[in-house]
Structure 1
Amino acid sequence: MTSFSQISKLTFKNLNKKTILYVWIININEKGNSLWFITGQDSSSCIQIVVKNKELISQLKEIRKAEKDSKKEEELEIELTKFQLINANSSNKDLPFPLVNVKEDNKYRYRYLDLRNSSSKKLLLIKNKFCYELRGFFHKRGFIDIETPILSQSSPEGAKCFVVPSNLKGRCYTLPQSPQVFKQLLMVGGLGKYYQIAKSFRNEDARSNRQIEFSQLDLELSFTSVKEIKKLVEKLLRTVLKKTFGYQIKIPFLSLTYQEYNKETKKYESFRHPFTIPQKKYIKSLLNNKIKPEKIICEAFDLVLNGEEILSGSIRIHQAELQSKVLQILGYNEEQRAKNFGYFLQALEFAAPPHGGIGLGIDRLLATILQVKSLKELMAFPKNVDGACSLTGTPDLIGDAL
């Protein structure tokens, strides 16, 4: 195929030179039979195309005009010398909505058209840049990008899980709320610097600041401390935000302390998961039942930005006896511990190293920084408040899906 240019790559060095562009025709402005102006758009930008050739104008008249948009004329323009119509709207297909001021229902039902708007596309490009810089940051520091299973088992992390039927009769998988246990097992396996931009799933009501399917930065380190992880997070955000947005944030961040006890259910709850280690001075008393759980302070922290929880992290339990005790305090009897956590407790018996890590909500962080109304704007094909997809109509009826 003949090489072609992207609009955004054109500069004044291209003046008086021929180039090939593949564009959508957004608008045609007729100035008589000998001069037309066309607004062309590709995946990178828009440009004004000047048509002075009467024969070309005659051919263009066969193309039905798209609705006008509100884009400003670009500084550069090109003169059309030849064109080929690759594809067009069906003869009876008008655009289902104006190209500007799109209502939310139409925005996501026809997301593939909405993404042609520069404002919608820009958010995805910013997210792409942010994730690119994240990966570069960790690659330079010797971290390993490892995928963990999507088909997994239910996890004790707060929200309900999505259930996935299995071909084994009466058996099922669940989708992960986080890669928590697997990344800890990687530490047991000697892979001491792990990260992943992981897909996570939480079966709960969608809100403006939550989605049932989302991306998070997942990180785990062996032989680390809260202090070291906090410094790493500060350096990470300072570096990546500088490269993505061009501004420098101040570090270190302000630190506060907290405790939590659910008085309504009269039971103790882990903040994110039951794998967080108590501070060293409490461990012996906890194992010997000489201290009340509410008196214990753990090695854990959250990062909050403008009232939004962006990140949570902790040092994990690396001893099987202590992990089993914490699960017992949280209400898991011996049978439940063996059934749900037996493989994990067994792994901790094989000289597991001390380790800790974080989970950072990428979409929530960017939404807070960019001041967008909903996380949906940072996702290519998000779910609505009912957890349904406006584009595909999912979830399907069970009988139709199986």
Structure 2
Amino acid sequence: MAETLNGLKRTIMCGDVTETSIDKKITVMGWVQRKRNLGGLIFVDLRDKEGILQIVFGEEINKGAFEKADTLRSEYCIAVTGMVVKRESPNETMKTGMVELKGEELKILSESETPPIYIKDDLDASENIRLKYRYLDLRRLDMQKIFKVRHKTAKAIRDYLDENLFLEVETPILNKSTPEGARDYLVPSRNYPGMFYALPQSPQLFKQLLMVSGFDKYFQIAKCFRDEDLRANRQPEFTQVDMEMSFVEEDDVIALSEGLIKKIFKDILDYDVQVPIKRMTYKEAMEKYGSDKPDLRFGMEIQDISNIAARTEFGVFKGALENGGSVRAIRVPGAASMGRKDIDRLGEFVKTYKAKGLAWITIKDEGIKSPIAKFMSEDVMNEIITKMEAEKGDAIFIVADKNKTVFAALGALRLELARKLEILKDNKEFNFVWITEFPLLAYDEEEQRYTAEHHPFTMPMDEDIQYLESDPGRVRAKAYDIVLNGEELGGGSIRIHDTKLQERMFKVLGFTQEKAWERFGFLMEAFKFGPPPHGGLAFGFDRMIMFLCNTDNIKDVIAFPKNQNAYCPMSEAPNVVDDKQLEELSIKTVKKDKESSEE
């Protein structure tokens, strides 16, 4: 039967009991990690969020406590009072391994059934089982460490931004639907039948309104929601560190953000981030790494060999160049030893990025090997090798196509080879880079119109505004992303604060004036009243915690995440609701059969 505390107070956490506590009487509380009965002595490892403490119960210490201890099982919740003594057999791998507690009094606060998962670090249970019993999964010390880091990181952020005169302001969760790229989560209104609120994909419009309000510097550790198909490390609800500032330019936002990054990594990991952080334009990133979030921890940069390829008889090269594309290559040190089957697999890999195929050259002791050697002279082949600075043992991989396809294929191949060859296996560095001068707009082939690369409120670069209508694809944005080890850590921009320019932007995006006012009218109305120049940035908070905790799974850093199908195995959300609730909301559900859903 469960006992109550009845006035008993915990005096110290299990993980904090060290040699300084010897000869002190203490009370600890927690969960039974394991029990060992050695006859006259029973040893219990007691766990709380700070660590594990060994407790010894003996008939000579207290017979009643000893007998009660014999009934303990894993995950019983207990309270123990006793004297701290020096351990006869120290365990130097434990923080508390030099001491133990003599159990004089024992209260069983609650019993536990046999848990469906082991409460231990490095658990190998399936993800869905861990999510179904998430409250048990979170008892594990390695999980609790993650959430300590999350808490301390949030505190470091708040301290830094407070010191820099930011105000933390909460923005609405229930708002009007203003699509920003992904589908909105919609919430029906009972008071306005047939109408819906939308959960925010970001606080974008409201933080701009706060600048119009004269708040000057705003931040929020904000919940955001996107109803999209989940890819790796995406969740339907996530957290971002959202910031906005008035009377600033790009350099001001970047400098402020670098200071925040430096503080976080110093406070949490005692790691010194060197500032200013390197900057690279979008154009340079794409041409060198095939990605707007390049991983700079290794080389294998993309090289343009179009001028050399033009002198070959290889039809694929000639066709790409005649269609306005290019021929580009990467050099992979030590890859000449790869087997033909492995290289053929790489050819199939690049096809998933719409490349027509993969040409290759290997430089071995016995000479140069390449399936395209017959289409070029020895001089041209050597010129490619010289251009790529290739040496014996290296391989050169070549893709010819439209630039967009070439960059995507070689950028992905570069990362795939780094993984395959374990180039980054023991790499513990943090390599930051700012990517700047993004395209303002991207052309959507399906919809036959331009769409905003970031969002429709991003300021064009001053010298490019003249091309907004005549050559939209040429216009660069005052936008910037901070990239860490090949992952986007955050991004932002300077915003449009001129009503006429904002209207031009909407027109280029295909919005009629009526449609623009229908969707964003409250922002455009506010901009009639003296909006200041402003800009900001949002960090992906969950992704930041992933880096700080050295995990590659976003579900590890969110207390109660959804699975890959946006479903919670623990709470069984989403789920059906009562007919009465639907009636109050003026909603009828339509059950889709298999045939209609496939259509």
Place the TM-score, normalised by the shorter chain, in its bin. Answer: over 0.9
5+ residue gaps, structure 1, are none
- Structure 1 residue corresponding to 2:33, chosen from 26, 30, 33: 26
Aligned pairs, number: 392
Q: Distance in 2 between matches of 1:21 and 1:201?
A: 41
- Measure how far apart 1:378 and its partner are: 0.2
1:54 and 2:77 aligned = no
- Measure how far apart 1:369 and its partner are: 4.5
Pairwise mapping of residues 93-112 of structure 1 onto structure 2 (< 5 A)? 93-99=113-119, 100-112=123-135
| Segment of structure 1 superposing worse, 174-183 or 256-265 | 256-265
- Measure how far apart 1:320 and its partner are: 1.3
- Measure how far apart 1:383 and its partner are: 0.6
* Structure 2 letter corresponding to 1:237: I
Q: Distance in 2 between matches of 1:385 and 1:399?
A: 26
Q: Distance in 1 between matches of 2:117 and 2:9?
A: 33
- Structure 2 residue corresponding to 1:314, chosen from 493, 496, 508: 493
Corresponding residue of 1:120: 143
1:264 and 2:445 aligned = yes
| Segment of structure 1 superposing worse, 258-267 or 231-240 | 258-267
Q: Distance in 2 between matches of 1:9 and 1:360?
A: 34
- Structure 1 residue corresponding to 2:512, chosen from 330, 333, 345: 333
Query: In the alignment, is the contact (CA less than 8 A) between 2:75 and 2:111 conserved in 1?
Result: no
- Measure how far apart 1:253 and its partner are: 1.9
* Structure 2 letter corresponding to 1:312: G
Corresponding residue of 1:166: 189
- Measure how far apart 1:8 and its partner are: 2.9
Query: In the alignment, is the contact (CA less than 8 A) between 2:68 and 2:106 conserved in 1?
Result: no
1:276 and 2:458 aligned = yes
1:38 and 2:44 aligned = yes
Query: In the alignment, is the contact (CA less than 8 A) between 1:306 and 1:368 conserved in 2?
Result: no
Q: Which has the higher strand share?
A: 2
- Structure 1 residue corresponding to 2:110, chosen from 87, 94, 112: 87
Judged with a 3 Å threshold, the aligned counterparts in structure 2 of structure 1 residues 95 and 313 are, in CA distance, closer, same or farther, namely same
Corresponding residue of 2:412: none
Query: In the alignment, is the contact (CA less than 8 A) between 2:442 and 2:452 conserved in 1?
Result: no
| Segment of structure 1 superposing worse, 115-124 or 179-188 | 115-124
Secondary structure of 1:21 counterpart? strand
Query: In the alignment, is the contact (CA less than 8 A) between 1:320 and 1:346 conserved in 2?
Result: no
Q: What RMSD in Å do the two structures reach over aligned CA positions?
A: 1.9
After superposition, give the CA deviation of every residue in 1:157-192 in whole Å (9 maximum; x if it has no partner).
Answer: 211110111111111001100000000000000000
Q: Distance in 2 between matches of 1:216 and 1:64?
A: 41
Corresponding residue of 1:13: 20
* Structure 2 letter corresponding to 1:247: Y
Corresponding residue of 1:150: 173
After superposition, give the CA deviation of every residue in 1:64-116 in whole Å (9 maximum; x if it has no partner).
Answer: 4559xxx9653131111101111111xxx321123343221111110101111
| Segment of structure 1 superposing worse, 232-241 or 152-161 | 152-161
- Measure how far apart 1:257 and its partner are: 2.0
- Measure how far apart 1:121 and its partner are: 1.5
After superposition, give the CA deviation of every residue in 1:285-333 in whole Å (9 maximum; x if it has no partner).
Answer: 64xx5x3212222211111222211111100011111112111111111
After superposition, give the CA deviation of every residue in 1:247-274 in whole Å (9 maximum; x if it has no partner).
Answer: 1112222222233633523321212210
* Structure 2 letter corresponding to 1:209: N
Secondary structure of 1:331 counterpart? coil
Q: Distance in 2 between matches of 1:337 and 1:396?
A: 35
* Structure 2 letter corresponding to 1:210: R
Query: In the alignment, is the contact (CA less than 8 A) between 1:144 and 1:193 conserved in 2?
Result: yes
Query: In the alignment, is the contact (CA less than 8 A) between 1:165 and 1:172 conserved in 2?
Result: yes
Query: In the alignment, is the contact (CA less than 8 A) between 2:443 and 2:451 conserved in 1?
Result: yes
* Structure 2 letter corresponding to 1:86: L
1:228 and 2:234 aligned = no
Q: Distance in 2 between matches of 1:256 and 1:222?
A: 25
Corresponding residue of 2:531: 352
1:304 and 2:310 aligned = no
Query: In the alignment, is the contact (CA less than 8 A) between 2:35 and 2:72 conserved in 1?
Result: no
* Structure 2 letter corresponding to 1:146: V
Judged with a 3 Å threshold, the aligned counterparts in structure 2 of structure 1 residues 176 and 296 are, in CA distance, closer, same or farther, namely same
Corresponding residue of 2:89: none
Secondary structure of 1:327 counterpart? helix
* Structure 2 letter corresponding to 1:262: Y
Query: In the alignment, is the contact (CA less than 8 A) between 2:222 and 2:240 conserved in 1?
Result: yes
- Structure 1 residue corresponding to 2:546, chosen from 352, 360, 367: 367
Q: Distance in 1 between matches of 2:551 and 2:478?
A: 33
Q: Distance in 1 between matches of 2:444 and 2:510?
A: 15
Judged with a 3 Å threshold, the aligned counterparts in structure 2 of structure 1 residues 140 and 66 are, in CA distance, closer, same or farther, namely closer
1:323 and 2:346 aligned = no
Query: In the alignment, is the contact (CA less than 8 A) between 2:189 and 2:195 conserved in 1?
Result: yes
Secondary structure of 1:123 counterpart? helix
Secondary structure of 2:154 counterpart? helix
Query: In the alignment, is the contact (CA less than 8 A) between 2:211 and 2:531 conserved in 1?
Result: yes
- Measure how far apart 1:399 and its partner are: 4.8
Normalising by structure 2, what TM-score?
A: 0.63
- Measure how far apart 1:217 and its partner are: 0.3
Larger Rg: 2
Judged with a 3 Å threshold, the aligned counterparts in structure 2 of structure 1 residues 257 and 294 are, in CA distance, closer, same or farther, namely same
Corresponding residue of 2:597: none
After superposition, give the CA deviation of every residue in 1:193-216 in whole Å (9 maximum; x if it has no partner).
Answer: 100000000111223321110000
Secondary structure of 1:303 counterpart? strand
Corresponding residue of 2:562: 383
Q: Distance in 2 between matches of 1:206 and 1:295?
A: 32
Q: Distance in 2 between matches of 1:183 and 1:222?
A: 11
Corresponding residue of 1:176: 200
Secondary structure of 1:23 counterpart? strand
5+ residue gaps, structure 2, are 1-6, 77-91, 283-438, 583-599
Query: In the alignment, is the contact (CA less than 8 A) between 1:197 and 1:218 conserved in 2?
Result: yes
Query: In the alignment, is the contact (CA less than 8 A) between 2:467 and 2:475 conserved in 1?
Result: no
